[in-house]
Amino acid sequence: MSVLDLFILAMIEHGFETPYALHRSAGISLGATNPALKRLSQAKLIVMDAESTASNRPRHRYSLTSAGKKALGLARKQQSQTSDSSDVDATLRSVVLAVIFIKPEEARDILLRSAASRASLAAARKLSSSSARVQLKKFDCMDPLKAFVEGFRYEAEVKAFRELATFLKSDRISKRLASGPRASGGTKG
């Protein structure tokens, strides 16, 4: 099961029950949400309930099936062994899952491991960009330019992940992430 699928299951469990709520509150694009919901539904991990609305357009709400709850329970046990990802969104979803499932310390560890991994990537990209001038003169310019930009992007991600890890030391943010929308009166959607 992908990090996105697991993240959606956890968000549904925490009250983000509509595609709109997943998009608006959990930060998942509709282009990613709808196919994932279809996959999870076909796997019988979630079920859809269509509510009628004033506009006669049905509102689709999703809930976990017993198989979905079981899959989520297994994932909770395995979450602390999450491998690092080069995808920023997957890393951040893993952080939220760690806060919800385990504890903020594990979320900070994920961020710090990802920051260390990205620091290595940034250093490698900067080394490869040192040959950029030579390659630019040969009109072979896209790869060294991409490497140069990626080096700076990785450095920015390193800084952001380290600051977020420090920020997660705050109990207030950890409690808010772990509580979801149900603690604040539900979601629109």
pLDDT in tens, 110-150: 888 888 888 887 777 665 555 555 555 555 556 666 777 77
DSSP structural state of residue 16: -
Contacts of 14 (CB under 8 A, 6+ apart): 100, 179, 180, 181, 182
Span 52-79, average pLDDT? 84
Residue 66 has pLDDT above 50, yes or no: yes
Three-class SS of residue 44?
A: coil
Spatial separation of the C-alpha atoms in residues 50 and 42, rounded to whole Å? 16
The residue among 84, 87, 89, 90 whose CA lies nearest residue 113 is 84
Report the pLDDT value the prediction gives residue 189, as an integer from 0 to 100.
41
| pLDDT tens digits, 144-185 | 667 777 778 888 888 888 888 888 776 655 565 555 554 444
Contacts of 110 (CB under 8 A, 6+ apart): 82, 84, 91, 94, 95, 98
Mutual orientation of helices 104-129 and 142-167 as an angle, nearest 10°? 160
pTM of the model: 0.62
Span 78-103, average pLDDT? 70
Residue 187 has pLDDT above 50, yes or no: no
Q: For the chain, which residues make up each domain, given as ranges?
A: 1-81, 82-189
Report the pLDDT value the prediction gives residue 179, as an integer from 0 to 100.
59
**Mean pLDDT over each residue of the chain, to the nearest integer:** 76
Report the pLDDT value the prediction gives residue 168, as an integer from 0 to 100.
77
Spatial separation of the C-alpha atoms in residues 61 and 166, rounded to whole Å? 36
% of the chain at pLDDT higher than 90: 15
Structure-model confidence comparison of residues 14 and 172, the more confident one: 14
**What does CATH list as the number for 1-81?**
1.10.10.10
